[in-house]
């Protein structure tokens, strides 16, 4: 819930604080009740720890103490998305469900989402509630940043084009101090560019299924997001205005056409952006 403003009187603030506390307590209680119900029906999961961090409510089948720093970091994700993209905060909590190992995670997803291809972390939106399902493994931090970005975007926007959805998630999946200069995609992207393997926004906009997205498409989705966030101001403004139109339910059209109007020869400009981008 958004704060009511800096000038709110203290008594109003106390009332709002109590009301927010009541809403959070209710959400935690409801989430716990639902999950315990699932556990009792399927006899498979025992949720032993619950923690709230910003817009996220995390439940796990193991103690979460070792992941406290990661959960603290995740709560900064929503303010960063709001600041850089101009989107609104998620109106509802985002639930994170963590399993102790891969087998328990796979078993749960196979049982509840049998038609969804298995992956180590998965974002699902059902009945207006966003859920991220993952398990304890070495790449958990990256996976949670990635899937939680999806969750926050879809909580704020009625739709996000596939390539842009994945590009933003790739950008925000690394720690904040690595996003501008140290993302692992830099190395392979520059190799592709040297070989003349360029993917335009227009080409990316033709993909509507994850099966159509290969490693190169993911890299260029990330590359275009990086360019719009760190390149010409006109490109950043174009992205923000595009997402604002999407949020309002207006006919947003294709982002490629908007970029070309705002930054002519945008593909060439994007390639030059990475050619000279250095710390």
pTM value is 0.83
pLDDT of residue 31: 41
Q: Which CATH superfamily is domain 27-156 in?
A: Collagenase ColT, N-terminal domain (3.40.30.160)
Residue 173 backbone dihedrals phi, psi, to 5 degrees: -80, -15
Q: Where are the domains of the chain?
A: 27-156, 171-276
pLDDT of residue 97: 97
pLDDT of residue 10: 27
Indicate the SS3 state at residue 148.
helix
Count of CA atoms in the C-beta half-sphere (13 A) of 249: 0
Can you state the angle between helices 162-172 and 140-156, rounded to 10 degrees?
Answer: 130
Residue 271 backbone dihedrals phi, psi, to 5 degrees: -60, -45
What is the chain's length?
A: 279
DSSP state of 90: P
pLDDT of residue 28: 37
Strand partners, 132: 96, 123
**What CA–CA distance (Å, rounded) separates 200 from 206?**
10
In a 10 Å sphere around its CB, with 0-12 CB exposed, 13-18 middle and 19+ buried, how is residue 37 labelled? exposed
| Other beta carbons less than 10 A from residue 54's beta carbon | 20
Strand stretches in 101-259, DSSP E: 121-126, 129-135
pLDDT tens string, the chain, 279 residues long: the values are 333 222 222 223 333 333 333 333 333 343 433 343 333 333 456 899 999 999 999 999 999 999 999 999 999 999 999 999 999 999 999 999 999 999 999 999 999 999 999 999 999 988 778 899 999 999 999 999 999 999 999 999 999 999 999 999 999 999 999 999 999 999 999 999 999 999 999 999 999 999 999 999 999 999 999 999 999 999 999 999 999 999 998 888 899 999 999 999 999 999 999 999 998
pLDDT of residue 157: 95
CB 274 within 8 A of CB 193: yes
**What CA–CA distance (Å, rounded) separates 267 from 13?**
49
CB 227 within 8 A of CB 273: yes
Can you state the angle between helices 233-247 and 77-85, rounded to 10 degrees?
Answer: 110
């Amino acid at each position: 819930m958004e704060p009511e403003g800096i000038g709110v009187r203290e008594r109003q603030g106390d009332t709002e604080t109590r009301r927010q506390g009541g809403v959070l307590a209710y959400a935690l209680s409801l989430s716990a009740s639902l999950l315990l119900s699932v556990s009792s029906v399927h006899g498979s999961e025992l949720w032993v720890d619950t923690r709230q961090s910003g817009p996220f409510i995390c439940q796990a089948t193991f103690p979460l103490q070792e992941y406290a720093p990661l959960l603290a970091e995740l709560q900064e994700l929503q303010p960063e998305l709001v600041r850089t993209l101009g989107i609104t905060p998620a109106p509802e909590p985002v639930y994170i469900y963590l399993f102790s190992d891969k087998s328990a995670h796979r078993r749960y997803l196979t049982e509840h989402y049998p038609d969804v291809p298995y992956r180590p972390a998965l974002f699902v939106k059902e009945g207006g509630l966003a859920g991220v399902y993952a398990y304890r493994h070495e790449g958990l931090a990256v996976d949670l940043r990635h899937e939680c970005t999806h969750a926050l975007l879809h909580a704020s926007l009625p739709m996000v084009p596939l390539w842009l959805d994945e590009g933003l998630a790739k950008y925000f999946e690394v720690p904040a101090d690595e996003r501008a200069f140290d993302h692992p995609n830099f190395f392979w992207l520059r190799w592709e560019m040297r070989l003349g393997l360029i993917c335009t926004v227009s080409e990316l906009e033709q993909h509507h299924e994850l099966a159509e997205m290969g490693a190169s498409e993911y890299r260029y989705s990330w590359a275009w997001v990086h360019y719009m966030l760190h390149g010409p101001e006109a490109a950043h403004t174009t992205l923000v205005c595009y997402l604002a139109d999407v949020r309002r339910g207006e006919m947003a059209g294709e982002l490629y056409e908007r970029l070309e109007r705002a930054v002519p020869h945008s593909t060439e400009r994007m390639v030059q952006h990475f050619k000279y981008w250095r710390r």
